[in-house]
Amino acid sequence: MKSRYATICMLIWCFPASVGAQATKHKMFSMTSGDGWLLTGMAQARPILTKSWSAAGDTPFDTEALYLTHTSAMLNLESPSRRFVLRFTPNFEGLTLSDGELNIGSWGNGFIDSRHPHNLFHEAMVSFNAFDSGGGGFSLSAGKGFVPYGTDDPMGRPPVKYPTNHHLSQVLERFTLNAVWSKGAWILEGGVFGGSHSQGPYDLSNIESFGDSWSTRVTRRFGKTAMGGWSWELSASHARIHHGKSHKNALYNGALRFDAPVENGQHIYGLMEYSRSTPAGNHEHGYWSFLTEAQWSTGSHTPYARFETSIRPEFSRGGGMEPSFFRYGHHAKLKGATGWSILSLGYGFTSGGNSVSITPFVEGQIFHVTSARGDVTPMNLFGAERLAALTVGARLHFGGDPMRMGRYGILDPVTSMTGMTVMSNMQMPERR
């Protein structure tokens, strides 16, 4: 055990010193072909050690484990005019996280209190962009990725552990056709997609359900910055999802987001959102979440915090100390629901050069669980109502910082970075 902690300490706290004590803003990898096509990209991984406790002791939550999580890359291939863009985000957690990651409070895709590995094709979207001279534009995007609903993928947000609301606030890894129109401060999006989700990291069979579900999102931006971006976003989303022939679901999300530099080289990010899931014909048995999170970056220092209160489902699953305690079948019997209050606090220190960024971090969580409905109590399920977890690790970024996922076409942050400002002044070609 001592050697394990020594190895983690060396990786997290010692290796960054050899790279450089002063953090610099590193750029994304980029390569331009002779005819003007541009390839940009980055990659990331997070080696972590998670230790958890319960107030009672000797429960499935009194454990520790090492993980290599958030293993993914993000690549954009753009035509010379930025008219056509291919976004590809492979995720390798099927290899590095095949048995899941201890993530108390989370649930979805057959994992509970453990985060599931994401699909190899996390994003594989092709976009056609149309720009006009009025400061707006239109685009169509198709492929496998995020539908226009909710907020950003937690993989690109400050806390390492995912929130309970992941499957209430994002609809991801679906085969989808998305459209977006923007004009000034307004953005309107709509999507048609398949409601079935992948059964595992390498499953692509959910294309068979394409067209049975839809979503829409409207966003109003405020506080235009000197660089042409926006400090504030206020959004509202709605989705109607078919999970098979007998299960239909309505999702709602409202969010307020702030992300901008402030004085003296500091940067502040904040998000507040409310999400709700309402099963068709059963409005009294939905699930909801209220979440707020923030990060303050000053130089190399990045303290952050998140608080979430939510209601989540509870399923029949394995008991005792077995791994099956953290799994449930996709058609498992619903036992009831529990209420969660989760406080997460973290701190990271960034060092690195132009091509590699390393951020050692420590993140602590405190959980309080109550019975919400049905024949479930925290004492019977977990042996305790109060839980805690501590995670230490490092964020490794290669070739650039992570960008926002699930934003395609004219909203693609990589496209904006590499030339959207110029393209927004182009006139659309005349029709013939």
User: Does any domain span residue 202?
Assistant: yes
pLDDT on residue 428: 33
Question: What's the count of helices (H) and strands (E) in the chain, helices before strands?
Answer: 7, 20
User: Does any domain span residue 418?
Assistant: yes
Q: What is the number of other CB atoms lying within 10 angstroms of the CB of residue 357?
A: 24
Under the phi-then-psi rule, with left for phi > 0, alpha for psi from -120 to 50, and beta for the rest, what region is 195? alpha
> Nearest Cα to 165, choosing from 284, 238, 100, 251?
251
* CA pair distance 293, 14, nearest whole angstrom: 29
> Nearest Cα to 406, choosing from 204, 172, 240, 163?
172
> Nearest Cα to 141, choosing from 208, 84, 82?
84
Domain that holds residue 298: 2-423
Q: Nearest 5°: phi and psi at 18?
A: -75, -15
**The tokens of 415 are what?**
């496209």
> Nearest Cα to 189, choosing from 220, 225, 144, 229?
220
DSSP labels, 240-256: EEE-SSS-EEEEEEEEE
User: Does any domain span residue 35?
Assistant: yes
User: Does any domain span residue 428?
Assistant: no
This prediction's pTM: 0.88
User: Does any domain span residue 326?
Assistant: yes
pLDDT on residue 351: 85
User: Does any domain span residue 432?
Assistant: no
Q: Which amino acid is at 110?
A: G
Q: Which contacts qualify for 286-290: CB closer than 8 Å, 24 or more apart?
A: 287/168, 287/311, 287/312, 287/313, 287/337, 288/168, 289/163, 289/164, 289/165, 289/168, 289/169
CATH number at residue 123: 2.40.160.10
pLDDT on residue 432: 28
User: Does any domain span residue 373?
Assistant: yes
Question: How many angstroms from the chain centroid is the CA of residue 379?
Answer: 31
* CA pair distance 118, 155, nearest whole angstrom: 11
pLDDT on residue 281: 61
Domain count, the chain: 1
Spatial contact of 72 and 107, defined as CB atoms under 8 Å apart: no
Residue 103 contacts by C-beta under 8 Å, 6 or more apart in sequence? 113, 114, 115, 161, 162
Spatial contact of 241 and 279, defined as CB atoms under 8 Å apart: no
Query: What angle is formed at CA 237 by the lines to CA 235 and CA 241, rounded to 5 degrees?
Result: 165
* CA pair distance 210, 241, nearest whole angstrom: 11
Question: How many angstroms from the chain centroid is the CA of residue 121?
Answer: 14
User: Does any domain span residue 201?
Assistant: yes
Sign of dihedral through CA atoms 352, 354, 356, 358? positive
* CA pair distance 317, 8, nearest whole angstrom: 32
Which mean pLDDT values do the consecutive 10-residue runs of the chain (432 residues) have? 44 38 57 90 96 89 95 95 94 95 94 95 96 78 98 95 97 97 95 92 92 97 85 97 79 97 91 93 80 95 97 80 76 86 96 83 98 90 93 93 89 80 37 28
